[in-house]
Structure 1
Amino acid sequence: MANLKLVDAFTDFVEESTLPYRQMMTYYNCALMEVETKFKVLNEQFSLFYDRNPIESIHTRIKSQSSILKKLQKKNLALTIPNIENNLFDIAGVRVVCSFTEDIYSLADSFLSQDDVRLI
């Protein structure tokens, strides 16, 4: 019953804030695409310069609406766009899988050395 109440609250919120919510989620989705593309480019560069591809797979995900709501409630935060943007740091995620540990560090260094990437 509690889950149904959470879903109803989130549904009401989305109906009232459809455009701002969609804009925010589009921002996260575009950021995921950009990060994924950066890793794919790095993989190609490694292939060119080192004759191997360190990345086995890249997986992306966006947190579901119900997970966003549950996380806000867990943090005792009101359901607002600013609260989502300013207090939830795991809405979008990228998992890069490599076969070798040293590849992880090489990719991380290459990724973080890009001028438009900032580690938080």
Structure 2
Amino acid sequence: MVNEDSPSRGGPREWPYPQPSAIEQLGDMDRDDALAFLRQLRDLLMVHKFGVDELMTKLRIWSEEFDHAHEHDPIEHISSRIKRPEAIAAKLARRGLPVDPVSAREHLTDIAGVRVACKFISDVYLIRDLIRQHQIEIVQTKDYIAAPKPNGYRSLHLIINVPVHLSDRTELVAVELQLRTIAMDFWAAVEHELLYKSGGQVPETFAAKLKAAAEAAARLDAQMTSLHERSERASG
């Protein structure tokens, strides 16, 4: 089952960029510089959107195929996002890099993002293996399932190069693919909400309870995976 949704809180984001409000959000930039940056960035964001579209199509096909042929769809739901111009500018500035599209293309690998929630941990690695089998280049892997972050966060992060076939050329677009279970996704969503409401920091007691909740979610994942494997053996 694949449900596609936007991660933005106010509903789907309008396309194409830039939106007028983005000019005001490029705080420290002169208005003329901000306008020039947004206009130049437009093509880069469009190509990254195409990269997301390409990857989402592959994932939808695999989801339907597995549901039909194997009676088990490893994908529960998918979401995607394109980083906003003001967020791109802010990240470049924080790194001391030029705030321009060339710099963004060369140094940022998270302009385009796709997140997949799976039922079981084995499904997470199944999707990763499908990416490999179809010769889609994985340029970076961060396995926070095998080695969780100190706060308890778990997910498998891949930076992949997605080929985008334009009318006159083919471009490789970096897309950040996050693969996690439903339990991991629920924990991450709640943790993000708490951080958002607390201005980026949570009280120490909250942090300890969040980590304990992440460990409880991991135990639930392990139990559900065990039940799934037993069910598969019994039906096979």
- Superposition TM-score tier, normalisation by shorter sequence: 0.7 to 0.9
1:52 partner amino acid: H
Structure number with the higher strand fraction is: 2
Give the letter aligned to residue 118 of structure 1: E
Aligned mates of 2:100, 2:30 — CA distance in 1: 10
Q: How far has the Cα of 1:15 moved from its partner?
A: 2.3
1:47 is aligned to 67
Shift of 1:48: 2.3
In structure 1, C-alpha distance between the alignment counterparts of 2:104 and 2:31, rounded to whole Å:
15
Amino acid at match of 1:49: A
User: What residue number does 2:36 align with?
Assistant: 16
What's the CA shift string for 1:70-107, capped at 9, x where partnerless?
A: 10011101112110100111111100000111111111
Residues 24 and 119 (structure 1 numbering): CA distance in 2 closer, same or farther, change over 3 Å? Answer: same
Which ranges of structure 1 fall in alignment gaps of 5 or more residues? none
2:52 and 2:80 in contact (8 A); partners too: yes
- Partner of 2:45, secondary structure, is helix
Deviation at 1:112, TM superposition (A): 2.1
Question: 1:19-40 CA distances to partner (integer Å, 9 max, x unpaired)?
Answer: 5321111000000011111111
Counterpart in the other structure of 1:105 = 125
Residue type of the partner of 1:21? L
- Contact 1:58/1:95, CA 8 A, preserved across alignment: yes
Normalising by structure 1, what TM-score? Answer: 0.85
Separation (CA, whole Å) in 2 of partners of 1:45 and 1:89: 30
What's the CA shift string for 1:30-56, capped at 9, x where partnerless?
000111111111111211221121111
Provide the alpha-carbon RMSD of the alignment: 2.0
The percent of aligned pairs where both chains have the same amino acid is 28
1:81 equivalent in alignment to 2:101 = yes
3-state SS in 2 of match to 1:7: coil
Report the equivalent of 1:60. Answer: 80
- Hey, what does 2:138 align to over in structure 1? 119
- In 2, Cα distance between equivalents of 1:32 and 1:10: 31
Other-structure match for 1:29: 49
Q: Match of 1:81, as an amino acid? A: P
Counterpart-to-counterpart distance in 1, 2:69 and 2:52: 26
Gaps of 5+ in 2: 1-23, 140-236
Which has the bigger relative contact order, CA under 8 A and spacing at least 6? 1
Cα 1:78–1:55, aligned 2, differ >3 Å: closer, same or farther? same
Task: State yes or no: 1:69 paired with 2:89.
Answer: yes
